[in-house]
């Protein structure tokens, strides 16, 4: 039947979109590591892959929007769902933009910061990766969303703490660095940390959406 | 022909029923955009007609047993007054029960004509007004709990659930429409059953008798009401009492369909009897009341936090007022119909008024003269009134829309002008700040240049004095050298360059003022302009004299000449004039 065919199509697109975001985070994490360890070829490859994933996410998001509006699917929930997709798309956009900044600005990163930055990237990516299952759960089991999003908040807090520690280390324990280099490092720490903030915003939205569905 | 005219009131009541009650079936589905209005109206219309034709007999018999309206004129009046009551309350946005209106009208007819109202049947009917919403509440609560548990267990994707709900709403809506037709056709055509035509229509697969043909006509009238007027009501029902999700909407429609079916199904009644239970009375019940009961049931399951009790109160008032108003209108209408138009409203009343011989003959002659033209005139008058009211309403609505549109345009223009003003203010402020910044910058540059020049001059002076003091020249030569020194110092004291730059700065800063001065007093010389600028900057006469390289006395004379040129009278202040320019 036609309505079920369209419903299946929408579900496939949504799942595809979530998968793209998930993959994007993995690539971002790898990209940071490759940059820090000086693996230029791998880093450039990560940039290309992430750019493609970001484009794919945009296309999928637009297809979903079009389907929801033209077929008048879920008129009461449509607005919330599209806002969620917007927030998730924003995460992969940020990941792509921020990873490209590494290529454009080529920041000098002292070797003693590598492990901290890798850890920060992992925490940010974990925060985003925790949002994905919560988003999937919203569509099938809204009551379980709450128990899935608490990890997002945890990773976000840890990311904030680590970012703060990195910045303190740079400004207070590295006198050999020039002021411009310190500022540069500060911004790149922010570039990595900001992904966890975006994940937290998506988690907040999911929490409200889940409550609305269960009322 | 006469029968058709009398039937029109029933058709009007059917139209009112369709306009009001279709919203109970498809209101939420259409209002939340799950189903398009056209599709919903088509499904509702088809199933209402089927339900009315094939299952409408049971409830019609009960209504007939309440009090048989045994004259066509009476049936016409009863039906018309119910329709007017329903239409009036629908226009005011109140959900109204057609059943209550028709029952009130029948009771009014009984009171007017002196016919007996069957108390037991009336009690059954009034009892159904209480039991039907309670049953609706019970079924809705039960279905809602079951549905909620089911959805929690199967964890269906929300998009798929949406598709299932759409299909479910269509099926439930069809069932609801069938039950509505089966149960409520009695309200529309029940009073005309004693006058049903004695014909049979053979469609091959089924045969329709006279009563069923009446029901078919009534069903078609309901369908017309659905298509023409129910859209408006659909957009307001449901969300007025409790905000409904599509899942709740499907439960409500199902509960309504079940309750109406239970009160119209003879086979279900027989089933209850066969298992030793008392059957439910086959009475027309209000779908609106059942829906409201269902909504309450869901609200109670959810915790009764969001119920709009004020609206519920208004609805309850409607339930009390509807039969009263309908009964009153019918009573007075019957008086007019019988005594003014001379139409027989009851066989029983006619028998009471019967006089033998001449009176009977003369009544017969009068009826033949007055009936048709009077009915046609009355009917025509009603139609005209309806058309005029409709046109007036449309005109008023257009006027209101136009005035709203023009107000909105005005507001938009004001906002636009305000925005432009804000933008120009900000731009001007920016320009001013830029100018100030530029001035400051020039000032500092000027200061720096001044210092450099002063330093250079003094260095030159110092080296010349050193040369003179070290040289062995004669007194004549020394005098000459000293004279040259004195001349260069005097030249420096004139500050020509600095003054030029100073005036340039002043003119740049006060460009607007200078333009206004030139336009208002075109005869002002450049020297007088300088004087006016310096006066505007509050320099004293001595300072002005120093800056203009003239004596203070000359400054005073220049001021006097300026006053004359500007046309100032004795007592008027020059500085005030310049400041206020």
Tell me the CATH number at A166: 1.20.58.220
Residue B207 φ then ψ, to 5°: -120, 140
Interchain contact, B159 vs A72, CB within 8 Å = no
- Phi-psi region for residue B304, left (φ > 0), alpha (ψ -120 to 50) or beta? left
Q: What is the pLDDT at residue A102?
A: 93
Distance separating alpha carbons of residues A87 and A81, to the nearest angstrom: 10
- Identify which of B393, B100, B90, B98 has the alpha carbon closest to the alpha carbon of residue B237: B90
Distance from CA of B243 to the nearest CA of A (A): 11
Q: If you average pLDDT over each of A11-15, B155-159, B335-339, B355-359, which comes out highest?
A: A11-15
Q: B160 to chain A: which residues are within 8 Å by CB?
A: 4, 7-8, 11
Q: Does B159 touch chain A (CB under 8 A)?
A: yes
- pLDDT tens digits for range B259-281: 888 888 777 777 878 888 777 77
Q: Per the domain annotation, does B371 fall within a domain?
A: no
Residue B202 φ then ψ, to 5°: -100, 115
Q: What is the pLDDT at residue B67?
A: 64
Q: Check pLDDT > 90 for residue B471.
A: no
Q: What is the pLDDT at residue B348?
A: 60
Q: Check pLDDT > 50 for residue B366.
A: no
Q: Per the domain annotation, does B379 fall within a domain?
A: no
Give the number of domains in chain A: 1
Q: A211 to chain B: which residues are within 8 Å by CB?
A: none
Full domain range(s) for residue B547:
511-581
Interchain contact, B33 vs A75, CB within 8 Å = yes
Distance from CA of A11 to the nearest CA of B (A): 7
Q: Kindly tell me the burial class for residue B92, based on how many C-beta atoms sit within 10 Å of its own C-beta (0-12, 13-18, 19 or more).
A: exposed
For chain B, report the end-to-end CA distance as a whole number of angstroms.
Answer: 92
- Phi-psi region for residue A99, left (φ > 0), alpha (ψ -120 to 50) or beta? alpha
Interchain contact, A72 vs B158, CB within 8 Å = no
Full domain range(s) for residue A118:
2-214
Last residue of a domain, one of B327, B354, B381: B354
Interchain contact, A140 vs B158, CB within 8 Å = yes
- pLDDT tens digits for range A148-192: 999 999 999 999 999 999 999 999 998 888 999 999 999 999 999
- Identify which of B556, B76, B113 has the alpha carbon closest to the alpha carbon of residue B350: B113
Last residue of a domain, one of B354, B384, B404: B354
Closest by Cβ to B166, choosing from A3, A139, A213:
A3
Distance from CA of A136 to the nearest CA of B (A): 9
Q: A11 to chain B: which residues are within 8 Å by CB?
A: 157, 159-160
Q: Per the domain annotation, does B165 fall within a domain?
A: yes
Residue B573 pLDDT level (bands cut at 50, 70, 90)? confident
CATH number for the domain spanning B547: value is 1.10.10.10
Q: What is the pLDDT at residue B390?
A: 77
Q: Show Cβ contacts of residue B411 under 8 Å, excluding neighbours closer than 6 positions.
A: none
Mean pLDDT, chain B, as a whole number?
80
- pLDDT tens digits for range B102-117: 888 888 888 888 877 7
Interchain contact, A215 vs B302, CB within 8 Å = yes
Q: What is the ipTM of this complex?
A: 0.82
Interchain contact, A11 vs B32, CB within 8 Å = no
Distance from CA of A19 to the nearest CA of B (A): 17
Q: What is the pLDDT at residue B154?
A: 85
- pLDDT tens digits for range A35-50: 999 999 999 999 999 9
CA-CA distances (angstroms) from residue A56 to A23, A29, A89?
A: 11, 19, 10
State both tokens at B63. 């209504």
Q: Check pLDDT > 60 for residue A53.
A: yes
Interchain contact, A77 vs B158, CB within 8 Å = yes
- What is the 8-class DSSP label of residue B320? H
Last residue of a domain, one of B354, B385, B419: B354
Interchain contact, B159 vs A213, CB within 8 Å = no
Distance from CA of A54 to the nearest CA of B (A): 25
Q: Per the domain annotation, does B238 fall within a domain?
A: yes
Q: What is the pLDDT at residue A189?
A: 94
Q: Per the domain annotation, does B460 fall within a domain?
A: no
Give the number of domains in chain B: 2
Q: Per the domain annotation, does B343 fall within a domain?
A: yes
Q: What is the pLDDT at residue A157?
A: 96
Distance from CA of B167 to the nearest CA of A (A): 9
Interchain contact, A8 vs B155, CB within 8 Å = no
Q: Show Cβ contacts of residue B98 under 8 Å, excluding neighbours closer than 6 positions.
A: B13, B16, B17, B20, B21, B82, B86, B184, B187, B188, B284, B286
Interchain contact, A4 vs B32, CB within 8 Å = no
Q: What is the pLDDT at residue B310?
A: 67
B62/B153: higher pLDDT:
B153
- Identify which of B59, B65, B86, B64 has the alpha carbon closest to the alpha carbon of residue B75: B64
Portion 284-323 of B in contact with A at CB < 8 A: 302
B122/A61: higher pLDDT:
A61
Q: Per the domain annotation, does B179 fall within a domain?
A: yes
pTM over 0.80: no
């Amino acid at each position: 039947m036609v309505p079920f065919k369209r419903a299946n199509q929408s579900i496939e697109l949504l799942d595809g979109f979530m998968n793209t975001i998930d993959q994007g985070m993995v690539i971002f994490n790898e990209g940071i590591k490759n940059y820090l360890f000086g693996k230029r070829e791998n880093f450039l490859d990560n940039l290309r892959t992430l750019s493609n994933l970001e484009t794919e996410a945009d296309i999928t998001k637009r297809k979903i929007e079009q389907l929801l509006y033209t077929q008048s699917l879920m008129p009461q929930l449509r607005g919330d769902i599209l806002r969620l997709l917007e927030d998730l798309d924003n995460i992969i956009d940020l990941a792509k933009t921020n990873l490209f900044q590494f290529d454009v600005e080529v920041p000098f990163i002292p070797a003693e910061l590598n492990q901290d930055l890798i850890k920060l990237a992992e925490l940010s990516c974990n925060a985003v990766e925790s949002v994905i299952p919560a988003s999937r759960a919203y569509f099938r089991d809204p009551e379980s969303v709450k128990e899935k999003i608490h990890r997002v908040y945890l990773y976000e807090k840890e990311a904030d703490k680590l970012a703060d520690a990195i910045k303190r280390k740079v400004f207070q324990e590295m006198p050999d660095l020039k002021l411009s280099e310190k500022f540069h490092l500060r911004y790149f720490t922010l570039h990595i940390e900001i992904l966890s903030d975006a994940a937290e915003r998506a988690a907040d939205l999911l929490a409200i959406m889940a409550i609305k569905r269960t009322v | 022909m006469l029968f058709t005219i009398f039937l029109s009131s029933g058709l009007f009541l059917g139209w009112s029923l369709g306009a009001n009650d279709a919203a109970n079936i498809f209101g939420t589905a259409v209002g939340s955009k799950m189903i398009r209005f056209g599709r919903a109206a088509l499904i509702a219309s088809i199933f209402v007609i089927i339900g009315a034709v094939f299952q409408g007999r049971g409830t019609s018999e009960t209504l007939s047993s309440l009090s048989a309206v045994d004259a066509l004129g009476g049936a016409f009046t009863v039906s018309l007054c119910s329709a007017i009551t329903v239409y009036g309350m629908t226009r005011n946005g109140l959900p109204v029960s057609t059943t209550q209106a028709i029952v009130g009208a029948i009771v009014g007819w009984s009171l007017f004509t002196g016919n007996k109202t069957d108390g037991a049947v009336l009690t059954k009917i009034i009892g159904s007004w209480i039991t039907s919403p309670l049953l609706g509440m019970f079924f809705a609560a039960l279905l809602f709990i079951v549905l909620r548990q089911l959805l929690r267990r199967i964890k269906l994707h929300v998009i798929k659930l949406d598709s299932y709900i759409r299909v479910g709403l269509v099926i439930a809506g069809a069932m609801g429409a069938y039950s509505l037709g089966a149960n409520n056709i009695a309200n529309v055509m029940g009073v005309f059953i004693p006058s049903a035509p004695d014909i049979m229509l053979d469609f091959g697969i089924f045969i329709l008798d006279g009563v069923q043909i009446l029901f078919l006509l009534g069903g078609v009238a309901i369908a017309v009401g659905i298509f023409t007027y129910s859209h408006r009501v659909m957009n307001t029902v449901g969300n007025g009492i409790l905000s409904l999700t599509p899942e709740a909407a499907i439960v409500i429609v199902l509960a309504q369909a079940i309750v109406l079916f239970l009160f119209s199904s003879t086979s279900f009644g027989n089933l209850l009897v066969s298992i030793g239970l008392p059957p439910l009375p086959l009475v027309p019940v209000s779908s609106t009341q059942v829906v409201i009961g269902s909504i309450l049931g869901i609200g109670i399951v959810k915790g009764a936090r969001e119920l709009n009790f004020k609206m519920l109160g208004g609805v309850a008032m409607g339930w009390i007022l509807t039969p009263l108003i309908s009964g009153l209108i019918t009573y007075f209408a019957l008086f007019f119909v019988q005594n003014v138009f001379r139409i027989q409203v009851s066989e029983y009343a006619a028998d009471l008024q019967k006089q033998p011989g001449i009176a009977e003959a003369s009544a017969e002659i009068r009826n033949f003269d007055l009936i048709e033209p009077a009915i046609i005139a009355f009917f025509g008058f009603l139609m005209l009134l309806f058309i005029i009211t409709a046109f007036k309403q449309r005109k008023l609505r257009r006027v209101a829309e136009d005035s709203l549109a023009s107000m909105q345009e005005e507001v938009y223009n004001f906002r636009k002008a305000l925005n432009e003003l804000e933008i120009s203010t900000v731009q001007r402020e920016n320009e001013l700040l830029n100018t100030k910044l530029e001035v400051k910058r020039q000032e500092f540059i000027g200061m720096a240049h001044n210092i450099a020049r002063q330093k250079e001059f003094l260095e030159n002076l110092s080296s010349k004095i050193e040369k003179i003091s070290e040289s062995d020249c004669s007194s004549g030569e020394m005098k000459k050298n000293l004279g040259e020194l004195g001349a260069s110092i005097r030249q420096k004291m004139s500050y020509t360059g600095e003054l030029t730059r100073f005036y340039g700065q002043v003119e740049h800063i006060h460009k607007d003022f200078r333009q206004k001065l030139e336009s208002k007093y075109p005869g002002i010389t450049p020297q007088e302009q300088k004087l006016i600028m310096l006066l505007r900057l509050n320099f004293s006469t001595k300072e002005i004299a120093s800056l203009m390289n003239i004596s203070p006395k000359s400054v005073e004379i220049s001021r006097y000449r300026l006053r004359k040129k500007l046309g100032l009278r004795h007592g008027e202040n020059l500085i005030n004039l310049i400041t206020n320019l």
